[in-house]
């Protein structure tokens, strides 16, 4: 492997810097199950509806960079496996307890539970159908049938109406941090927070060495408070000059990944301003963003296969996109960048 000639390096967080298999992926699986059991009121099960391997498969192959979008797509998939559900009058008071009461009224008479949904699901088929349609939340929404959509309450402010987001954040942040950030106690999930189950994936000594040679940045398709908490908890925040999150994307009214804005903004903000940058990501959307950024300023697209249950499928997707470099693990950056 020849040494890469670059002036700056920008990282994705999940599956590059941090192992999120027991945090974000577990939160996706739990959000889907809690939504169906506690909100829609389906008979519950002691066994998980989704495995973490299935969550990873659809996230990578289906090209989701935002885990909350992934939870929404999976909930949509499962509510459309249900028999047609009549729509009662929507609550006049729009807050979380009223929304849960509405959903339970709508779904309470169903004679189907989590165990039956587990038998009916085909997540591999779903992942490949989403990928064939172009990947990501918009294409997932487009290919899924429009049945029982009144059972999906998402989007907007999670303290008022975004029930999917509310459950997701309560699980990920945990009761204490959720209440600190949102000034409301949790309603559905009273837990210590899956954010505490994250661990460092990249060797910290390598980050320190890279930081001595290059300015480093982070791009994440998640809220700033989550990203900063994760970097601090794993004691790597000091290595990054720049952190670009969904907060900055929203403030600039820009588009999230696979649009290149976040990468270009990260490179523009680094000091000294790099002539040649590289971005390390783990999804096709990451690579699409880097290749699109390369149309504006020199940007090398580095794909990492860590965190996926089917490395060969993901490798093929990266090769199809003409990814510049494909690595098995983020620690292989040592040879690539430092020689």
Residues 255, 163, single domain; the answer is no
Residues 180, 205, single domain; the answer is no
62 lies in a domain?
Answer: yes
In Å, how far are 50, 69, 74, 238, 280 from 54, measured between CA atoms?
Answer: 6, 15, 11, 34, 23
Final residue before a domain boundary, out of 167, 196, 225: 196
Residues 226, 155, single domain; the answer is no
Residues 185, 204, single domain; the answer is no
How many angstroms separate the CA atoms of 239 and 167, rounded? 32
C-beta of residue 258 within 8 angstroms of C-beta of residue 289: yes
78 lies in a domain?
Answer: yes
Q: Give alpha helix (H) positions in 255-298.
A: 261-269, 284-293
C-beta of residue 210 within 8 angstroms of C-beta of residue 186: no
In Å, how far are 217, 246, 333 from 237, measured between CA atoms?
Answer: 10, 18, 19
pLDDT at 316 over 70: yes
Mean pLDDT confidence for 9-38: 95
Residue 271's contacts (CB-CB under 8 Å, 6 or more residues apart) are 215, 241
Identify the pLDDT of residue 101. 85
Final residue before a domain boundary, out of 175, 196, 217: 196
3 lies in a domain?
Answer: no
CATH of the domain at 270: 3.40.50.1000
Number of domains in the chain: 2
Mean pLDDT confidence for 318-322: 95
Residues of the domain holding 275: 8-20+199-338
Final residue before a domain boundary, out of 137, 165, 196: 196
Q: Which residue from 27, 171, 153, 32 is spatially nearest to 95, judged by alpha carbons?
A: 153
Per-residue pLDDT of 107-154, as tens digits, reads: 777 889 999 999 999 999 999 999 999 999 999 999 999 999 989 999
Identify the pLDDT of residue 110. 84
C-beta of residue 224 within 8 angstroms of C-beta of residue 245: yes
Least confident piece of the model among 147-161, 192-206, 257-271, 285-299:
147-161
Residue 91's contacts (CB-CB under 8 Å, 6 or more residues apart) are 98, 99, 101, 102
Strand residue runs (E) in 275-322: 277-281, 299-304
How many angstroms separate the CA atoms of 255 and 266, rounded? 14
Residues 289, 223, single domain; the answer is yes
Residues 123, 214, single domain; the answer is no
Task: Quickly state the pLDDT bin for 91 (edges 50, 70, 90).
Answer: low
Identify the pLDDT of residue 303. 97
Residues 300, 167, single domain; the answer is no
113 lies in a domain?
Answer: yes
C-beta of residue 92 within 8 angstroms of C-beta of residue 155: no
C-beta of residue 334 within 8 angstroms of C-beta of residue 209: yes
How many angstroms separate the CA atoms of 319 and 284, rounded? 10
pLDDT at 92 over 80: no
Residues 180, 34, single domain; the answer is yes
Q: Give alpha helix (H) positions in 144-243.
A: 163-173, 175-182, 204-213, 224-233
How many angstroms separate the CA atoms of 16 and 237, rounded? 14
Residues 207, 245, single domain; the answer is yes
1 lies in a domain?
Answer: no
Share of the chain above pLDDT 90, in %: 81
């Amino acid at each position: 492997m020849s040494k890469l000639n670059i002036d700056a390096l920008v990282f994705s967080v999940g599956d590059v810097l941090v192992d999120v298999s027991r945090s974000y992926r577990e939160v996706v699986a739990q959000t889907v199950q809690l939504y169906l059991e506690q909100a829609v009121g389906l008979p519950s099960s002691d066994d998980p509806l989704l495995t973490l391997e299935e969550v990873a498969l659809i996230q990578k192959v289906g090209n989701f960079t935002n885990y909350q979008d992934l939870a929404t797509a999976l909930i949509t998939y499962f509510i459309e496996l249900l028999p047609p559900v009549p729509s009662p009058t929507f609550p006049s008071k729009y807050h979380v307890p009223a929304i849960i009461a509405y959903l339970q009224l709508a779904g309470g008479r169903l004679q189907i539970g989590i165990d039956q949904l587990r038998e009916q699901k085909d997540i591999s088929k779903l992942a490949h159908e989403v990928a064939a349609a172009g990947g990501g939340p918009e294409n997932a929404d487009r290919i899924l049938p429009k049945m029982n959509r009144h059972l999906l309450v998402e989007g907007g402010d999670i303290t008022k109406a975004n029930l999917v987001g509310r459950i997701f954040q309560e699980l990920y942040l945990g009761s204490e941090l959720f209440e600190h950030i949102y000034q409301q106690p949790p309603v559905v999930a009273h837990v210590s927070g899956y954010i505490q189950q994250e661990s460092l994936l990249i060797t910290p000594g390598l980050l320190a060495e890279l930081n001595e040679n290059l300015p480093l940045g982070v791009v994440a398709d998640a809220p700033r408070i989550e990203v900063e908490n994760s970097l601090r908890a794993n004691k790597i925040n000091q290595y990054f000059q720049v952190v670009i999150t969904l907060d900055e994307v929203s403030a600039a009214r820009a588009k999230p990944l696979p649009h290149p804005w976040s990468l270009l903004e990260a490179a523009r903000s680094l000091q000294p301003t790099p002539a040649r940058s590289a971005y390390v990501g783990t999804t096709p959307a990451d690579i699409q963003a880097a290749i699109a950024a390369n149309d504006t300023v020199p940007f090398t697209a580095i794909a990492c296969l860590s965190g996926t249950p089917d490395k060969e499928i993901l490798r093929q997707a990266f090769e199809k996109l003409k990814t510049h470099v494909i690595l098995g693990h983020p620690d292989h950056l040592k040879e690539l960048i430092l020689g």
